[in-house]
């Protein structure tokens, strides 16, 4: 087997990324006595002024990546908080206007669970189905909009499948209907082009740690023209124009700023490189029997590949693949015992959802990593299929969909 | 999820993987679980004329705990009488493999599998099954 330089090979960049060394270096300069450790809210001395300047630069980098005004960027603790702030913030501020929210079944839990909470508070939420491609049907979305709809929340890139929604079109529709549009861009910022001058997105959530920045920091874009209002969820001190109080975490913010600066600079080249690696990975599997790609690769972010290896259960495959770090839509990797709700929403049978593996490639993935992965996966899938009664039945020509299974 | 060394051992070196001829009258086959639930176990036993399990084979689609539970079970049933094998409890498997609470259902499935295999063997009316029946009648 060809040796990759680093075992285990990290192929879970959609879960989190290592900080870029350039990011870590900038962050370290904001912690100690000889660095910019000050509180940006301290207006009375140079320590505060320097920290404030650092934050300003970082805010500029984040805004620049998505072509927004720096004043439209609100720092948060991450995309989960940004989603909460956007959705609850709009719902609470505009509650007199209406109590209906539209989202989609394949959203991240940070959006879905926030919507569930609002349902408990008396709001109504429509959870749209997606097509088998993973995409939203625009007609279905349009039909779901009601007189009292105040918010549409649809993610840009799906974290499990890598499918890219047409947020420009959703934005046009929402604006025409006078509905606020929030978009979770945790998986897309720094991976694909986002232009908030052109796209009619009103609120957008960002995360630093998906883009080679640190964990624990994110941002929410809040549009100024037309002005979008949100009710704060965190009170005290009135930081971030009253939308999110709390002393700014300068080192985290500087890290996110640097990560987004690098992303803007390197996105085009990196994305082309990742696409080539993903195609290399895919072609390494393409002659295998009974494999299914989850999500439409023609509307797709470069670094993600989600495949179901039929007749092999995902968790056992992950155990066999302990020399590569990947994730699975199998029930067994979660506490719930339910297979991935995202893959089920795509219309995948439960057994294929149980058999899925998400490979997500990133900045430090090499061709050798990909080649090593191909060999290892092929070998282990073959081994587990030898162990699988379903594979045996399939090979014997049994139609598994016609078998009466003893449910348990 | 962290697995015990015993689970890892059975997972990496599963014992008695394979299949017997299903229609052989000395063979009992138990197939339990469902693909949609994420695990399916096929357990087969080969029974001697005097009602002792001579050999066992399994194939399992499922997580590491499911594979380990069925692998361990094949080791345990060998040399046991049908009666003894039917008395194996899922809790014994779970304890031996130190399964975490969310994986207990894997051991339950294994217990179901051996019961189903014995039932299948008995339904075929094999030699040993007949002998057992006769013994029961005679008493």
String of DSSP letters for B14-60: -SSBS---TT-TTEEEEEEEEGGGTEEEEEEEEE-TTSBEEEEEEEE
How many alpha carbons lie under 13 Å from residue A20 in its C-beta half-sphere?
21
Q: CA-to-CA distance for A158 and A135, rounded, in angstroms?
A: 10
ipTM exceeding 0.95, yes/no: no
Distance to chain A for B16, nearest Cα, Å: 10
Closest CA to A268 of A48, A31, A65, A45: A65
Per-residue confidence (pLDDT) for residue B138, from 0 to 100:
46
Per-residue confidence (pLDDT) for residue A377, from 0 to 100:
97
Mean pLDDT of A282-290: 96
Task: With CB atoms and an 8 Å threshold, state whether B37 touches A388.
Answer: no
Question: With 90 as the cut, is the pLDDT of residue A225 above it?
Answer: yes
Distance to chain A for B135, nearest Cα, Å: 32
Question: Tokens 């004329």 label which residue?
Answer: B49
Q: CA-to-CA distance for A353 and A72, rounded, in angstroms?
A: 39
Per-residue confidence (pLDDT) for residue A220, from 0 to 100:
98
CA angle A283, A159, A347 (to 5 degrees): 75
Residue A95 tokens read as 């509650």
Out of B36, B59, B108, name the one closest to residue A387 (CB). B59
Per-residue confidence (pLDDT) for residue B1, from 0 to 100:
57
Q: pLDDT under 50 in chain B at which residues? A: 138-139
Q: CA-to-CA distance for A49 and A46, rounded, in angstroms?
A: 5
Sign of CA dihedral A18, A20, A21, A26: negative
Residues of A in contact with B32 (CB under 8 A): 406, 408
pLDDT, averaged across chain A: 94
Per-residue confidence (pLDDT) for residue A402, from 0 to 100:
83
CA angle A284, A397, A317 (to 5 degrees): 40
**Which pLDDT tens digit goes with each residue over A77-94?**
999 999 999 999 999 999
Mutation target for B interface from A387, A401, A405, A407: give the one with most B CBs within 10 A. Answer: A387
Per-residue confidence (pLDDT) for residue A113, from 0 to 100:
96
Is the overall model pTM greater than 0.95, yes or no?
A: no
Residues of B recognised as catalytic: 37, 106
**Which pLDDT tens digit goes with each residue over A368-386?**
999 999 999 999 999 999 9
Residues of B in contact with A387 (CB under 8 A): 14, 17, 59-61, 67
Shortest CA distance from B39: residue in chain A = A313
**Which pLDDT tens digit goes with each residue over A350-374?**
888 888 999 999 999 999 999 999 9
Q: In the 8-state DSSP scheme, what is residue A20?
A: P
Task: With CB atoms and an 8 Å threshold, state whether A333 touches B1.
Answer: yes
Residue A183 tokens read as 């978009």
Interface of A with B in 311-350 (CB under 8 A): 311-313, 315-316, 319, 330-333, 335, 337, 339, 349-350
Question: Tokens 């962290």 label which residue?
Answer: B2
């Amino acid at each position: 087997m060809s040796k990759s330089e680093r075992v285990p090979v990290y192929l879970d960049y959609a879960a989190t990324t290592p900080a870029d060394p350039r990011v870590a270096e900038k962050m370290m300069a904001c912690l100690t006595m000889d660095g910019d450790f000050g509180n940006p809210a301290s207006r009375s001395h140079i320590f505060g002024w320097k920290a404030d300047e650092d934050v300003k630069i970082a805010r500029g980098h984040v805004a620049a990546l998505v072509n927004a005004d720096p004043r439209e960027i609100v720092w948060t603790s991450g995309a989960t908080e940004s989603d909460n702030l956007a959705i609850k913030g709009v719902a609470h501020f505009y509650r007199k206007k209406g109590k209906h929210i539209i989202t989609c079944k394949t959203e991240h839990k940070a959006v879905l669970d926030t919507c569930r909470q609002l349902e408990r508070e008396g709001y109504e939420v429509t959870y749209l189905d997606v097509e088998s491609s993973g995409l939203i049907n625009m007609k279905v979305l349009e039909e779901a909009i009601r007189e009292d709809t105040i918010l549409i929340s649809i993610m840009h890139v799906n974290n499990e499948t890598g499918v890219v929604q047409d947020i420009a079109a959703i934005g046009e529709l929402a604006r025409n209907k006078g509905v606020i549009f929030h978009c979770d861009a945790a998986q897309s910022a720094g991976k694909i082009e986002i232009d908030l001058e052109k796209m009619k997105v009103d609120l957008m959530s960002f995360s630093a740690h998906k883009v080679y920045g640190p964990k624990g920091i994110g941002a929410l874009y809040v549009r100024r023209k037309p002005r979008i209002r949100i009710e704060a969820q965190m009170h005290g001190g009135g930081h971030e124009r009253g939308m999110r109080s709390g002393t700014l975490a300068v080192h985290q913010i500087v890290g996110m700023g640097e990560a987004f600066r690098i992303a803007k600079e390197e996105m085009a080249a990196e994305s082309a490189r990742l696409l080539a690696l993903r195609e290399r990975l895919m072609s390494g599997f393409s002659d295998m029997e009974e494999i299914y790609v989850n999500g439409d690769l023609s509307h797709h972010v470069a670094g993600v590949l989600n495949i179901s290896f039929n007749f092999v259960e995902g968790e056992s495959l992950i155990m066999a693949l302990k020399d590569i770090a990947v994730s699975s839509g199998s029930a067994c990797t979660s506490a719930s015992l339910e297979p991935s709700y995202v893959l089920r929403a795509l219309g995948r049978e439960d057994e294929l959802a149980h058999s899925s593996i998400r490979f997500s490639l990133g900045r430090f993935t090499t061709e050798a990593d990909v080649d090593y992965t191909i060999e290892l996966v092929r070998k282990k899938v073959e081994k587990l299929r030898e162990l699988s009664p379903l594979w045996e039945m399939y090979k014997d020509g049994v139609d598994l969909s016609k078998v009466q299974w003893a449910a348990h | 999820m962290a697995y015990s060394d015993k689970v890892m051992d059975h997972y990496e070196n599963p014992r008695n993987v394979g299949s017997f001829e299903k229609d052989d009258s000395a063979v009992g086959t138990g197939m339990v679980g469902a693909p949609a639930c994420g695990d399916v176990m096929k357990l087969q036993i080969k029974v001697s004329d005097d009602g002792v399990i001579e050999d066992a084979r399994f194939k399992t689609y499922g997580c590491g705990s499911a594979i380990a539970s069925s692998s361990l079970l094949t080791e345990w049933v060998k040399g046991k009488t049908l009666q003894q094998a039917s008395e194996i409890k899922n809790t014994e498997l779970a304890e031996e493999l130190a399964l975490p609470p969310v994986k207990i259902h894997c051991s339950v499935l294994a217990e179901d599998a051996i019961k189903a295999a014995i039932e299948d063997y008995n339904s075929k009316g094999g030699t040993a099954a007949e002998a057992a029946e006769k013994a029961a009648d005679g008493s």
